[in-house]
Every structure is written in C-alpha cells, then in structure tokens.
Amino acid sequence: MTSTVTALAPSTAVPTPGRPAPHIDTGKVADLIGRLLIELGEDPTREGLTGTPDRVAAWWSDFLSPAGAASATCFSESRLSDQLVVVGGLSVWSLCEHHMIPMNLQVTAGYLPEGEVMGLSKFGRIAQHFAGRLQVQERFTRQVAERLTDVIGHEDVAVAVRGLHLCMSMRGVRMEEARTTTVHAGGRFSTDSILSQQFLTVATAQWGAP
C-alpha cells in the first residue's frame, strides 16, 4: 500500500461562496462523444452504442451540476465541553483533473463543538458539493475543511481524506493497492498532539484495509 500524508497548515476561515452550476450544452457534448467514438475506431450508430453519446452527455451535466453545499444547520447544545465529534463513512466520487479519470474519496471530518452541533447530513452534502467537479485530492481536502470552518465558526476542524485514484491503478504504474491520504488540521488539531492523534486513530480505523 502506498500512502502519502500531507499535513496542511491551519488557515483562517474563508467563506466558500455558492458555486453556480455551469451551463452545459448536452447536445454539443453528445456530438463530441460521438466524434470521439469515431476517432477511436467505433461506430456510434451500432447496436450497443446507440444512445451512448446522449447518456454520457447527461452524466457529465449531472456530475458537474451537484446540489449546492446548502446552508448547514447547527443546533444549540450548551452542555458540551471539549467533546471530539468525528463523522466518517463519507464516500464520494470525483474526477482527477489531470487525466479526467475517477477517484474515490473517503472523507472523515472532526471538530470540537462550542455551544452548538452541526447537522450530520450536511457533512455529506459539503463533501459531495466539492467532489462534483474536476479536482485534485489536496485541494478537495482544503475546500471541505475551509467550508466546515466557516459553518462551525471556529478553526477547531480536521479533515482526513483517503483516495483511490484510478489514474494510478488502471493506467501508468497500475498499482491497484495504492492509496493517497491527505490531512488538514486546523486550530487545536494543529497544536494539540493528543487531540490530533485521537482524530487520526478514529479516521484510520474507519478506513480499514484497502
């Protein structure tokens, strides 16, 4: 197993504006897919490929137009004190912008509540929002962390992402067992080694074996 850990320095909370859905002309995309099939020696009108350009175009439009990150809901909870909250099992698909080949990103996020807790489903929506575009794992990790920091209102946020990159496992060196891990540690997660280790222990336990 190949694992690369990137520890990013904590950053100040940066609001993440809503990303407008791009206008995609699915007719033009379908035409381009049909021409690509021809250049690859295929006949887009043959049985089996009939309708494929339209389906591919519809998929691109759907993938690049994910639902917004949504306004995250927080709930008052005044009796919390130094409790570590970790949300894992957030598995999303994105596309490597270098090869336009899929990558599966397993996301685990942690934070320290201060008087309120964040609605759990919003963690998944935020991950999906930033995955639905041409991406690199390192940027995705930072974007999720910055968005959570903005919503929660302080920097005590950590995000760990474990990625399976098909651009590495099905092309190039073709190492199917390879995984890449990126970690963004903000606030107390970057200064408290015990807290950081607690978070990483929970995150890695959830990922299990490749």
Domain count, the chain: 2
Give Cα 156 distance to the centre of its chain. 20
Mean pLDDT of the chain: 86
Q: Are residues 198 and 127 in the same domain?
A: yes
159 plus 186 within the same structural domain:
yes
Residue 68 lies in a domain: no
The last residue of one of the domains, among 35, 63, 91, is 63
Let me know if residue 13 belongs to a domain: no
* Residue 167 and residue 98 share a domain: yes
pLDDT recorded at residue 4: 39
Q: Are residues 52 and 146 in the same domain?
A: no
| Same domain, yes or no: 101 and 37 | no
Is 100 within the bounds of a domain? yes
Residue 9 located in a structural domain: no
> 50-60 in b/e burial notation, b at 16+ Cβ within 10 A?
eebbeebbeeb
Q: Model confidence over 1-50: pLDDT tens digits?
A: 333 343 333 333 333 344 555 688 999 999 999 999 999 999 999 999 99
Q: Look up tokens 């496992």; give the residue.
A: 169
Last residue of a domain, one of 40, 63, 86: 63
Q: 138 and 52, same structural domain? A: no
Same domain? 114 vs 171:
yes
- Order of strands, sheet of 102-111, starting from the edge strand that comes earlier in the sequence: 5-8, 180-185, 157-165, 102-111, 85-96, 134-135
Asked if residue 122 and residue 56 are part of one domain, the reply reads no
Looking at the fold, whether 44 and 123 belong to one and the same domain comes out as no
Residue 72: per-residue pLDDT: 65
Q: What is the CATH number of the domain that holds 161?
A: 3.30.1130.10
Residue 39 lies in domain: 26-63
d(CA 12, CA 31): 44
Q: Indicate whether 8 belongs to any domain.
A: no
- Tell me the mean pLDDT in the region 113-121: 89
Tens of pLDDT, residue by residue over 155-202, are 999 999 999 999 988 888 888 889 999 999 999 999 999 999 999 999
Q: Does 4 reside within a domain?
A: no
Do 59 and 88 sit in the same domain of this protein? no
More confident: 162 or 81: 162
Residue 3 lies in a domain: no
Residues 98 and 181 in one domain: yes
Is 121 inside a domain boundary?
A: yes
- The whole-angstrom separation of Cα 86 and Cα 115 is 17
- Kindly state whether residues 198 and 131 are assigned to the same domain: yes
